[in-house]
Structure 1
Amino acid sequence: MRARSVGYSIYMVLSIMASLTIAAIPAILFFGWFLLHFTNFLNSIGFPFSTLYDWALPLLSGTFDPIVIQYFWVFVLFVPVGLTCYAIFLGSLLGLFKLSRRGIPFLEDGYYSSDTEAWLLYEYYEIYYVLFPYFAGFFSVFLDTKPRHQAFGCKIGNNTVVGNGRLFNPERTIIGDNCFFGYDAILSGHVYESGRLYLKTVKLGNNVTVGANAVVLPGADIGDNVIVGANTVVPKDTTIPSNTIWVHGKAIPRKSKPVAEKLHQPIGGPPPLDPEDEADIPENGERL
C-alpha cells in the first residue's frame, strides 16, 4: 500500500508540473507571434489600421525610441493580447488538470479510515480543483465561477448563481435551477470525524437560497423553494422538505409563496380560487 501511495504522490507532482509547462506553451507561442508579426499583419490589412499607423508615426518618431515605432501595435494592444494569452493558458491548464485527475482513483460515497490509502487518494483527487482557482483568480473577479465548478463535475441547473459560494467537492454536488449562494456559503461533500473521512453527494432542489456563511455538509438533501439561513449549519444526511426555511437546526414552513410561484399569478383582480373554495361561490358568481 505504501508503494502505491508513493507512486500516486509522484504522479500528482509530475502531472501538475507537466500541466503547467504544457499549458504555457500555446500562450507563449501566440505571444511570440504577436511580437514578431502582428504589426506587419495589421498594417497589411489596410484601413483602418494602416491609416492609424500612418497618423501616429510622425507624432511618435520625434518623441519615442524607434523600437516603439517598430512595435506600435504591440504597445497599443498589449493588455487585450495579454489577457488573451492568459485565457489560452487557463483553458489549456483546465483541460490538462481534468485529464491528469483521471489518473487518481475516484472514491465512492461512504466512510474511509484515516489509516488507509483512501484518505490520501481523496486529497490527491481534489488537489487539481483546489489549485486551479489560484491561476484563474483574475477572471473569477469578473465572471461567475459556475463554469469552473461544472468543468470539474458539478451539476448545476439554469439561472443558478454560485458567485462567492464555495463548493468543496464539485463532483459530489448537484444543484437545481434558480439557486443563489450568499457570500462564503459552503457546500461540502466531505467531512472529517473521529479519524474517518465521510463522503456523500449534496443535493439542492430548485429555487434554493443558501445564506452567507452557511455550511451544508455531505449527504444533505434540500428540497425546492428552501431558504437556508445565514450562519447556519445543515448537518450531514439531513433532509430539508420543500417550501421551508432552515434556521436554528430545524425546518420552518414558509408562510408566503415562493417568488417563482408569485410570478405566475395574474396581475390585478382577485387571486385565483383553490378548487376547495369553489363550492363557496354563489350562483350569481359573486364571492362571499
Structure 2
Amino acid sequence: MKIVHSAFVFTIGFTVGLSAATTMAADLQPDSPTTGAGTVQSGSREQVISQQTETNLAGNRLVTGRVKEIRGNQMEVDIGNPKSLYIPLKPAADKGQTFKPGDIIIITLNDNNALVDYHRPGETSHHQVIEGKLQTPLTVGLDKAVIVTPEGTKTFVVAERAKSTLASIPIGVSAVFLADETGQLVDAQPGGLSAAADAAKSHRAPIKGAHEQLRAVFRGAGPEGRLKISEGGREREVQFRPPLEKLDRIKPGQEVVLLLDEQGYVLEIATPDVIPVR
C-alpha cells in the first residue's frame, strides 16, 4: 500500500513535504511480527500474512495506524486512508490494555476487512490456530462455538466482533479458527489450512474501513435483532447480533453513534454523553 501525503506538498513545499512524509512512514513502520513458518509481505503500512502461521491465519493483514481519538467505547484510528478506521475498545479492555490519542497501533484484519485483533508495535500476539469442524450451530446469541478437533471436542466463547464470521462457517465443514489471548474466537476460515492458504493468494479488496460509524436518532427496538433509527430524517432498521450492550439504556428520540461491521450489523452503541460533539 502506498501512502501519498499530498497535503504536505501543497501547503509546505515539495522538499519539506517529502521529508515529512518519509519521517511519518518510518515512524509508522511496524516491527516484524512473530509469524512462525508463515510469509509476510510488507508495505509501508500493511503486512499481509500469505501463509498460515502460529498466530495468524493466511490472508490476515497487519495494518499500522495511529490513534486519533477515543470516544466512549470506540477508537478512531488513522491508517492513511481518507476515512478513519473505527474499532471497539472491548478487545483492549478484555486484555487489560489501554490506549491514548497519538499511540501507534497494529490492527489485524481478515481477508473480508473484519477486525480480528490489535496490538502495540513490538508486542507478540499469543494467538492459537485451531483446525476442526463446527459440531452444532452457534448457541443462542452466537456466544459459543462447539468445535470438533483432532484432540477432541472443545467449546469456545465467540468474540462479539467475530460473530458474523463464525455464523457463516457451515456445520461439519473443515475450517481453521483463531483464538486470541483471552481464548475467545476472533476469526475463522472454511476449508482447512490448505484452502485458507490458497484463499490468501487471491485478490483482496482494498481496506475501506473495517467498521463504519453511523450517527442517528434511536427510534426504538424493531423486530428481533433489529433497531429502528432515523438518519437524516429518513427512518430505517439496522440489524444487530444480541446481546447488544447499552440497548436497555437507550430511549426513543435519543441521539446515538452506532459502530457497524463489514456486513452492516451493529457492534457497539455510544451516546452523546460519552461522545463529545466535534
TM range (shorter): under 0.3
Q: Which has the higher helix share?
A: 1
Compare relative contact order (CA 8 Å, sep 6+) and give the higher one, 1 or 2. Answer: 2
Q: Which has the higher strand share?
A: 2
